[in-house]
Structure 1
């Protein structure tokens, strides 16, 4: 009956839904005299459009200055006047520049045929997450840029899982949607969730999404672009960007044209329940050229596939997500833009995502259900003022993130027991910066920011036995039985950060760019125990809280050298630092302080060609990272998540990527990452866990990862386009934690996907298949932290088929 009800629910979802709108309108445009390649980069950035070229030799054509409040079409006409080229409009946000007369003599080799117009890549990739909108070929570092073409409605429903499938250097703990920890490169602390700050910074536009909490896993509907910058990124993004940052840029309201899109999908998971997704996007100009509203709403259900044989229940790990975004844009004149944004999302997981190999594939035997819930709320206002090449940007906002989790705490031979943990995180942040964008990535940025974050972790233990006297599970915590909860010791951590930062790039000699920057941060930290158990000493509590109340000032320098003196080749070297402030954690029902940690990375790399633009694009990077006083979320002797400094470590990372346009319609993409990590100076309690004098690796760092993919796009006629894509990603071996108790291995699996779509006019039909070979790979080896000896594993979602339809208007 349950599956029939789910099927009816999913069928109802498929009747309606929605996605991004497209359109053009008059905007403030300011382009200096130069060449067409640079001019189209600037125009695409200022108008948030995609501008491609059928022939890259057009990039060298001289162009005049273009300024004023113009439509994209009018600006392109001015740029191309007398150039022998013209612009063709593909859709509301895509243009293609083609020649109107032959560029080569008859004896010259024929140029490579252009890709279909609607799929032509941008003339250049601009790294907007650099906050100075740097062209990719002049950015010193590893970056992955995914534009709106990368996300179908089905992939948008996957949220962070879609990014994991596309970026080889990005990894996750896979504890469940809304409760995962994300890692970039090999900068990972551990797999359990304690009070420590994330190693990866996440942003929606200029607004910070997370602090001392897991990935909120926002769905990617109506998103124009996602950039993943490898870290550390301490100069521009401050604390919590040790591994790097993920910046999601949603489509902004269009001031001149009404539009929208509806999308829906049905999915079937082998060995499990059906699922479905729907979305709706509407762009509504309120006052032409002045005021517009853009609204996105969505709902996603992921069918369960884990059976609990002890409780006699099937497919217990079903997850539901619903939420939306609203954005209001006001452009009072040619120089000012004001954006007000709001986000809400709720995730409900019926049960945990893990299984037990000794019980059976996709099965476990739990005494109680272990549901979880994530509520996420964000509000933000952004102001931008433009003076030619000078920009002022101010972003201020508030985040409330509540995550409730539960773990099976049943002891051998005892009655069922459930441990609950609720993490309430409040973030207020504001950043104000002045930016000077000069040609080819030169210029400077100067800014200041203030952040205040408070994290409160509440804990309780509930026994379900009939007797009033129960076996002790947590020292000092009574077990009342009969479903009555008893409070366990929790913790509150608060941090206030005031920051000044700056960065500047200059060209001392032609073809050599030097960049220097720094960030000065003063952090005021405080902490206290919440609901301390009676067994805790008042003196110990007072001492720990006194240690937590302190002020720290830290300076993070950065420097890089880059040369593009070799045509179509970029060489760079970079030094960058990052840090995380300390705080309080509960260890064995005692409150203890953990210190801040600091990371320094020296890297060198190269880049040849631009992915999607050139026939062959290559990039590579080698990095050495020194990590001091590593903060890691671990488990204490009882099994509770806690945070401690586990010592010093070092990491070597080697990365490479090649993107080849095999034909005008087919692109091949492959990447690889190798990590070698060691705890060079483990903390005393960690050294005690080292057995047989074996060296210890940094937790959750896979030794090897890689991805291969293809993308095929073609046109059948003027109205019909076909898109095929597929990928396979390998995730290497890693360990859950340090020592023999948390030394379980995980990873060493291949995840695969295949998708196809046909677009005819405003309608698109799609079909996708994930986990083609129905792999049972282990993504995460932790089940319940109260039992670290059972062979728990978190399997890949079994083979899943999705059918979808999108309609744009």
Structure 2
């Protein structure tokens, strides 16, 4: 785990509801064996003091359990025995845990064979699933979850954003239209490869704030992020609409109330067959009022070098992408019970040109008549309030998102003048959630909450021809072609959704070793839609009828239930059922406005888990699931080739997945995972039935039949304060189809992606060397080029072999 200094403060105020305690007072203390981070939190709550640490790497050290009545001094001494960590008192009721001089950030000090033996024989680390909203211990969470802590996110991986998550998690997949334009899928819940007005199948969150709705992945960079959790879905009870496949929850590091500090990073990269790239980031933590008020700032800029050449326009490396942005967080803790966070995010992505190539032209070449730039602007503001007392916790999160995405497609027709189709998607999201939670250390407890969400999505379209002839041929039916670079509007659409929700979940233990969880979510959705810039051929009666169909109310109840047992030592067995849904809306189909219905998912799964990945010598998990998907919403192409949305029928998905993590040596971790999907459109809609052959069902789009990952991670402390970290990984992405039917039936996938990273840390400096796509494979990530030409052999190649040199400095 990389060393972080004062910038990364595991927790700045861990306070109980009782009066501040003296170190000599005796308290009844009960703390299970686990990690130092969670143990410090528990000790602070049970004794009424503030316990923090200025080095994030200390949080993962294994600790022994405590039980009995003892003083704070005695508890700290026993808790830190054998870890090499020292406790320093900095105020009457405030303590800080600090690294001993000779201690490595990767392993406890082994000055005593007894201490080392105690550390290795400690019970499995107590990993907490915070995305469950009830802070559930991993052994008592019924479902598949991947938790990535900050040891994953080197500056190179942080610069890659969502691509880092894709490289680490076998069940996560994506389209590859370009940064900020992609759709993320979990497990095999994938609707299509093109982007239309339908809601995402995967819910994405920054803390408690929703990131997306009817728009692609914003692809926020992962700088200064402490943890990412991926919960496989559906997650309808806790997260509502748009979590059919699951949830990705990014947890940025919170402001440190006690210490000033920061970190900077810089890197330069070179891509084979391409040009140079680079990245730069800085983070700064500033306490304003000690232990009361602090500000945290993060800023970054990333340039990804291009590697696609356009032979028609005689241009090299046209697909450069530039990203810059930042985050700001202000934390106010007026007393031991209240925490108030004000967060802001801004990110801008600019792609110079499209990311695809044409095999008929060359491996990394294409022939386009026009430049196809795209851009994404993302703004988020969020206010989060938390009140803690006894075992109850109240959380209120309210915020606003504006996401603007501009895309361009080459609309040039054979023997025609150059033409460009533009689509502008603006999404506004207002959401608020208020919940009351009772957390218990054993995974029991309950949650009760209410939420309200309002989302407005505007999709506007235009066609621009650069022809100079007096009369130009029609490209899109009934859309004028003016020529000479003058844009003509095409029909767009507006969708508005208002959702009011009540939800609850409770876990109880009817018999020892058996945990039952039941929950439900009641949602009322008010839907409305309208056409934007309708073409002249659309009559007022057609528009009025479509908008009347879109204006409606839907009420849906999403139940969930699970059974879990940990009666067998170190083994968890579970069975789970849950539902999810997405509301309907309006779409443009052949320049007409049409309604599509909501879709619904029901998933049954069985699984087991043994050990804690990466910390126990042996950890194993596996899961089998069956998903029934009704009235599937899919972004398809209409008769003209433009993106639209329709209900394509009913489908079913069988999924088998597993993961094994071995630690043959204290410094070496081996990690292997796989996922197998068998998906079918079992009852296609009427307009698709002609595409099936002899009654054979169609496969669902963008679902790879097989995926897997192998990785090795080696961390060792060298002489002095020097540490070496080496990580190598290979990921296989199986075959899938771009869409439903022969028009979008191009195959994609069936490639192996590889990477190797080495870093050397000496004191506050870290030097790194990373290589991606070691084999320089040109595997096809995505088969869509432009929707105006679905016959050419377009493909989106992997980024060619790339080398990056980086340096990080913490202060």
**TM-score, scaled relative to structure 1:** 0.92
Secondary structure of the 1:27 match is coil
Shift of 1:62: 2.0
Secondary structure of the 2:691 match is coil
Q: 2:15 aligns with which of 29, 35, 44?
A: 29
Matched, 1:264 2:266: yes
- How many equivalent residue pairs? 772
* 1:27-47 CA distance string (max 9 Å, x none): 233497324326956445676
Give the conservation status (yes or no) of the 8 Å contact 1:85–1:97: no
* 1:548-591 CA distance string (max 9 Å, x none): 00001000000000000000000000001000000000000010
Q: Which residue in the other structure is 1:72 paired with? A: none
Q: 1:307 aligns with which of 285, 294, 309?
A: 309
Give the conservation status (yes or no) of the 8 Å contact 1:336–1:383: yes
- Report the Cα distance in structure 2 between the residues aligned to 1:84 and 1:494, rounded to whole angstroms: 55
Q: How do 1:428-577 residues align onto structure 2 when only pairs under 5 Å count?
A: 428-577=430-579
- Report the Cα distance in structure 2 between the residues aligned to 1:53 and 1:704, rounded to whole angstroms: 33
Q: How do 1:757-772 residues align onto structure 2 when only pairs under 5 Å count?
A: 757-772=759-774
Q: Which residue in the other structure is 1:70 paired with? A: none
Give the conservation status (yes or no) of the 8 Å contact 1:19–1:153: no
Q: Which residue in the other structure is 1:69 paired with? A: none
- Report the Cα distance in structure 2 between the residues aligned to 1:121 and 1:39, rounded to whole angstroms: 10
Q: 1:181 aligns with which of 167, 183, 205?
A: 183
Deviates further, 733-742 or 693-702:
693-702
- Report the Cα distance in structure 2 between the residues aligned to 1:520 and 1:618, rounded to whole angstroms: 36
Q: Which residue in the other structure is 1:672 paired with? A: 674
* 1:587-625 CA distance string (max 9 Å, x none): 000100000000000000000000122100000000000
Shift of 1:389: 1.3
Give the conservation status (yes or no) of the 8 Å contact 2:728–2:755: yes
Structure 1 pair 779–650 and aligned structure 2 pair: CA distance change class (3 A): same
Secondary structure of the 2:780 match is coil
Q: How do 1:215-230 residues align onto structure 2 when only pairs under 5 Å count?
A: 215-230=217-232
- Report the Cα distance in structure 2 between the residues aligned to 1:592 and 1:409, rounded to whole angstroms: 24
- Report the Cα distance in structure 2 between the residues aligned to 1:43 and 1:486, rounded to whole angstroms: 63
Secondary structure of the 1:28 match is coil
- Report the Cα distance in structure 2 between the residues aligned to 1:478 and 1:249, rounded to whole angstroms: 48
- Report the Cα distance in structure 1 between the residues aligned to 2:735 and 2:146, rounded to whole angstroms: 23
- Report the Cα distance in structure 1 between the residues aligned to 2:492 and 2:560, rounded to whole angstroms: 38
- Report the Cα distance in structure 2 between the residues aligned to 1:587 and 1:227, rounded to whole angstroms: 37
Deviates further, 205-214 or 39-48:
39-48
- Report the Cα distance in structure 2 between the residues aligned to 1:390 and 1:78, rounded to whole angstroms: 28
Shift of 1:89: 3.1
Give the conservation status (yes or no) of the 8 Å contact 1:650–1:677: yes
Give the conservation status (yes or no) of the 8 Å contact 1:489–1:533: yes
Give the conservation status (yes or no) of the 8 Å contact 1:55–1:98: no
Q: Which residue in the other structure is 1:295 paired with? A: 297
* 1:236-266 CA distance string (max 9 Å, x none): 0000000000000000000000000110000
Q: 1:340 aligns with which of 336, 339, 342?
A: 342
Q: Which residue in the other structure is 1:85 paired with? A: 81
- Report the Cα distance in structure 2 between the residues aligned to 1:768 and 1:178, rounded to whole angstroms: 24
- Report the Cα distance in structure 1 between the residues aligned to 2:345 and 2:380, rounded to whole angstroms: 5
Q: Which residue in the other structure is 1:13 paired with? A: none
Q: Which residue in the other structure is 1:62 paired with? A: 67
- Report the Cα distance in structure 1 between the residues aligned to 2:298 and 2:307, rounded to whole angstroms: 29
Q: Which residue in the other structure is 1:782 paired with? A: 784
Q: Which residue in the other structure is 2:198 paired with? A: 196
Deviates further, 501-510 or 689-698:
689-698
Give the conservation status (yes or no) of the 8 Å contact 1:449–1:500: yes
- Report the Cα distance in structure 2 between the residues aligned to 1:64 and 1:395, rounded to whole angstroms: 38
* 1:97-152 CA distance string (max 9 Å, x none): 77997659xxxxx949969xxxx999321100000011111100000000000110
Secondary structure of the 2:420 match is strand
Shift of 1:327: 0.2
Shift of 1:88: 2.9
Q: Which residue in the other structure is 2:277 paired with? A: 275
- Report the Cα distance in structure 2 between the residues aligned to 1:520 and 1:545, rounded to whole angstroms: 26
Structure 1 pair 38–270 and aligned structure 2 pair: CA distance change class (3 A): closer
Secondary structure of the 1:553 match is strand
* 1:319-347 CA distance string (max 9 Å, x none): 00000000000011111000000000000
Q: How do 1:326-337 residues align onto structure 2 when only pairs under 5 Å count?
A: 326-337=328-339
- Report the Cα distance in structure 2 between the residues aligned to 1:82 and 1:169, rounded to whole angstroms: 41
Q: Which residue in the other structure is 2:737 paired with? A: 735
Shift of 1:409: 0.5
- Report the Cα distance in structure 2 between the residues aligned to 1:797 and 1:648, rounded to whole angstroms: 36
Give the conservation status (yes or no) of the 8 Å contact 2:34–2:124: no
Q: Which residue in the other structure is 1:629 paired with? A: 631
Give the conservation status (yes or no) of the 8 Å contact 2:12–2:256: no
Q: Which residue in the other structure is 1:107 paired with? A: none
Give the conservation status (yes or no) of the 8 Å contact 1:89–1:96: no
- Report the Cα distance in structure 2 between the residues aligned to 1:262 and 1:39, rounded to whole angstroms: 28
Structure 1 pair 32–549 and aligned structure 2 pair: CA distance change class (3 A): farther
Secondary structure of the 2:263 match is strand
Q: 1:382 aligns with which of 381, 384, 407?
A: 384
Shift of 1:470: 1.1
- Report the Cα distance in structure 2 between the residues aligned to 1:473 and 1:53, rounded to whole angstroms: 60
Q: Which residues of structure 1 form unaligned runs of 5+?
A: 1-17, 67-74, 105-109
Matched, 1:414 2:416: yes
Shift of 1:79: 2.9
* 1:260-314 CA distance string (max 9 Å, x none): 0110000000000100000000000001111000000000000000000011111
Structure 1 pair 92–626 and aligned structure 2 pair: CA distance change class (3 A): farther
Shift of 1:64: 4.8
Matched, 1:808 2:804: no
Structure 1 pair 45–237 and aligned structure 2 pair: CA distance change class (3 A): farther
* 1:699-753 CA distance string (max 9 Å, x none): 1100000000000000112310000001000000000011111111000000000
Structure 1 pair 680–44 and aligned structure 2 pair: CA distance change class (3 A): farther
- Report the Cα distance in structure 1 between the residues aligned to 2:189 and 2:241, rounded to whole angstroms: 14
Structure 1 pair 781–78 and aligned structure 2 pair: CA distance change class (3 A): farther
- Report the Cα distance in structure 1 between the residues aligned to 2:548 and 2:470, rounded to whole angstroms: 38
- Report the Cα distance in structure 1 between the residues aligned to 2:98 and 2:535, rounded to whole angstroms: 62
Structure 1 pair 684–713 and aligned structure 2 pair: CA distance change class (3 A): same
- Report the Cα distance in structure 2 between the residues aligned to 1:121 and 1:462, rounded to whole angstroms: 65
Give the conservation status (yes or no) of the 8 Å contact 1:370–1:406: yes
- Report the Cα distance in structure 2 between the residues aligned to 1:29 and 1:608, rounded to whole angstroms: 33
Shift of 1:87: 4.5
Matched, 1:133 2:146: no
Q: Which residue in the other structure is 1:206 paired with? A: 208
Give the conservation status (yes or no) of the 8 Å contact 2:137–2:441: no
Shift of 1:53: 7.7
Give the conservation status (yes or no) of the 8 Å contact 1:753–1:769: yes
- Report the Cα distance in structure 2 between the residues aligned to 1:430 and 1:764, rounded to whole angstroms: 41
Secondary structure of the 1:79 match is helix
- Report the Cα distance in structure 1 between the residues aligned to 2:14 and 2:123, rounded to whole angstroms: 24
Deviates further, 40-49 or 557-566:
40-49
Deviates further, 552-561 or 45-54:
45-54
Give the conservation status (yes or no) of the 8 Å contact 1:29–1:43: no
Structure 1 pair 515–121 and aligned structure 2 pair: CA distance change class (3 A): closer
Q: Which residue in the other structure is 2:655 paired with? A: 653
Secondary structure of the 1:332 match is coil
